[in-house]
Amino acid sequence: MAAISAAPDFVCEVLSPSTEAFDRGTKAAVYAGHGVEWLWLVDPEGDTLEVFRNERGVFRPVRTLQAQEGGGAAPFEAASLDRFFEE
């Protein structure tokens, strides 16, 4: 089996109470270190979407959206996230 040789530009993680610390810590650091440019962290319980951008190997927060907000988020500004938060 061939190894993956390139990192994706974008990763989205859906947080759960049992994995949130790992997703925010270890996983995010690995993604950043491998060059993933954008990270979204979706919190279904808190109805939030956190957007991060990789700056020299570290994810920096760009924006946090609440479920009631409309519009898009980087790197998909043109797409509406309204349906993203629908149940």
Q: What is the CATH number of the domain that holds 28?
A: 3.90.1570.10
**Tell me, what amino acid is at 68?**
Q
Could you tell me if residue 5 is inside a domain?
no
pLDDT digits (tens, 9 = 90+) for 10-42: 999 999 999 999 999 999 999 999 999 999 999
Alpha carbon separation from 72 to 7, 15, 23, 37, 69 (Å, rounded): 23, 20, 23, 17, 9
Give the pair of three-digit tokens for residue 8. Answer: 């994706």
Give yes or no for residue 6 having a pLDDT over 90.
no
Could you tell me if residue 3 is inside a domain?
no
pLDDT digits (tens, 9 = 90+) for 43-69: 988 889 999 999 999 999 999 988 777
User: Which pLDDT does position 52 carry in this prediction?
Assistant: 97
Distance between CA atoms of 9 and 20, rounded to whole angstroms? Answer: 21
Could you tell me if residue 45 is inside a domain?
yes
Could you tell me if residue 4 is inside a domain?
no
Domain of 34, in residue numbers: 10-85
